Structure 1
Amino acid sequence: MHTMWKGTISFGLVNIPVKLHAATENKDVRLRQLHKKCQSPIKYEKVCPVCEEEVGTDDIVKAYEYAKNKFVMLTEEEIAELQEEQTEKAVEIVDFVQLKEIDPIYFEKSYYLSPNEGGGKAYTLLREALEETGKIGVAKMMIRSKEQLAAIRVYENTLVMETIHYPDEVRNVQDVPNVPEQAETPQKELDTAKMLIDQLTSEFDPEKYKDNYRTALLELIEEKKNQDETTTAKEKPVQTNVTNLMEALEASLDKAQKTKPQPKEKATAPKKTTATAKKTTKPKAATPKKKQTRKKA
């Protein structure tokens, strides 16, 4: 069983090293949401509505909204410091009470407690003391970044810790709408209702209660799977501009060929050379004419 937390339980001068394990698990059948058009799973992204860009984990900070769009920012260091101060404290049992004194509305989640190394004797001591007195311990502890109120009791030879809500976390029952006021109920109707309750009264056996909806849903899913009524999500199309190294090299080669000088530019060089040649032949032609003139003289 996975260990969620390690610490100590203390009552008086007794310290019990313990491990915390989740006592319950959620068996809900989780259904994914697909795009009806292509049967691809819907992706949920964190997007800033102002910048209109996706925000990564490193770009997110925590803050408390004390008024509409008014925030007090808190750094991770400040939060960690407060949590560390509370985490260093042991699970301290502050009171012992009767279980029936706590209304079930206060109970939140159940955890098994097992003794850590060297804590077996003290663990047994607390368990037997609770069994013989018929009481439970009310304790405070830090779990999952929250200071919790908890009830420690015995369940089938094992210590169980039940996290319970603080009073200000339980909504005021007076705020429930449309609750009828006390009214006189005909005695005959009341007697009939009590008779029906007597007929349906039995000892509580949790094994006889089943989640019929979950069972039916799993059967439907299995039936559809056996009849090949399934679908496969389409893969995200890969960008065609550069998919691998070879295509990148080919794209670079094509680009280089397009920017390479055209043959027409090479033809301009001989024209310049010809023009230069014509300029140089003119003085050469003039020289022989002078020599011929001298001979005639």
Structure 2
Amino acid sequence: MHTMWKGTISFGLVNIPVKMHAATENKDISLRQLHKECQTPINYEKTCPVCKRSVKNDEIVKAYEYVKNKFVLLEEDDLKEIQREQQDKAVEIIDFVKLDEIDPIYFDKSYYLSPNEGGIKAYGLLRQALHETGKIGVAKMMIRSKERLAVIRVYKNTIVVETIHYPDEVRQVTDVPNVPEDVETVKKELDTAKLLIDQLTTTFDPGKYQDAYRHALIHLIEEKKAKKDVTTTTKEPTPDHVVDLMDVLQASLEKARKEKTKPHQPKRKTVKKQTAE
């Protein structure tokens, strides 16, 4: 499993060297866009609408748009310095709370933690302490140049880091339109709805849930492959030395024809002098 990050987790005077690994993976099927006429993949280039040309990466700078068309330019060195300052800090557990105190709307992405060299004993200590107390740790850490709020908990026998959103990243429910405050509910309808919920209640088994669309798409792709219903991309034309040579030959031929149609001129005097010598 690929190591994404190395660092330490600390609580009190305990420091645990750890490695971080992605706990989930994106199984979405990526589809390419082809030009219908020649079946060639479409390219997306970075272009400047003012200069009317494509731009290279070394021509691009970062900026923050504080009002429409007004930017604050940010130097790459300044951004790297801020990043270094934060990365030098250990992942420090700030508080311990109960998992059910955090609403699922705050949760973002999961990462597995494994002990790094010399961290096995401390890793086991934290895992056992979290398990027996039923608590999770709230911490801050740097991931991909962004300071993240995270919780540290136990999943099966592994310590997991779960990034969570900051409160100001979660939109207010009062901003959601057309949500009714109070709705009068008929008791008979409510009892029927509760009965239906009881009948559908079961123990959560993640293995029974599958992405039906993804499986159907995979089946469709394999079916088309089996029927040879495929296409081959037209190779993009590249400059050829033969073509360049033909251009030169054609230009030379035109020049020779023009020279041939010119009236004959006597030899220069310099040539006669060379002959006399």
TM-score normalised per structure 1: 0.85
Q: Tell me which structure has the larger Cα radius of gyration.
A: 1
**TM-aligned CA deviation for residue 30 of structure 1:** 1.2
**TM-aligned CA deviation for residue 134 of structure 1:** 0.4
The code of the aligned residue for 1:130 comes to L
Q: How many residues are aligned here?
A: 268
**TM-aligned CA deviation for residue 259 of structure 1:** 4.6
Give the equivalent residue in structure 2 for 1:102: 102
Closer, same or farther in 2 for the Cα pair 1:43/1:270, shift >3 Å?
A: closer
For residues 45-60 of structure 1, the aligned pairs below 5 Å read 45-60=45-60
Closer, same or farther in 2 for the Cα pair 1:199/1:81, shift >3 Å?
A: same
CA distance in 2 between counterparts of 1:170 and 1:24 reads 22
Higher helix share: 1
Give the equivalent residue in structure 2 for 1:32: 32
For residues 210-249 of structure 1, the aligned pairs below 5 Å read 210-239=210-239, 243-244=240-241, 248=244
Identity of aligned residues (%): 67
Give the equivalent residue in structure 2 for 1:282: none
* TM-superposition CA deviations, 1:1-54 (whole Å, max 9, x none): 000000000111111000000000010111111111221111111111111100
The code of the aligned residue for 1:83 comes to Q
* TM-superposition CA deviations, 1:223-252 (whole Å, max 9, x none): 11111111111112234xxx12x6545654
- Superposed CA RMSD in Å reads 2.0
1:268 corresponds, among 262, 265, 269, to: 265
Closer, same or farther in 2 for the Cα pair 1:271/1:205, shift >3 Å?
A: closer
The code of the aligned residue for 2:82 comes to L
Give the equivalent residue in structure 2 for 1:77: 77
The alignment status of 1:86 with 2:86, answered yes or no, reads yes
Q: Which runs of 5+ in 1 are unaligned?
A: 273-297
**TM-aligned CA deviation for residue 190 of structure 1:** 0.8
Give the equivalent residue in structure 2 for 1:42: 42
Give the equivalent residue in structure 2 for 1:159: 159
CA distance in 1 between counterparts of 2:45 and 2:254 reads 41
Give the equivalent residue in structure 2 for 1:204: 204
The alignment status of 1:21 with 2:21, answered yes or no, reads yes
The alignment partner of 2:30 has SS state of: coil
Shifted more, 219-228 versus 31-40: the winner is 31-40
The alignment partner of 2:97 has SS state of: strand
Closer, same or farther in 2 for the Cα pair 1:250/1:199, shift >3 Å?
A: closer
Closer, same or farther in 2 for the Cα pair 1:177/1:263, shift >3 Å?
A: closer
The alignment partner of 1:151 has SS state of: strand
**TM-aligned CA deviation for residue 191 of structure 1:** 0.7
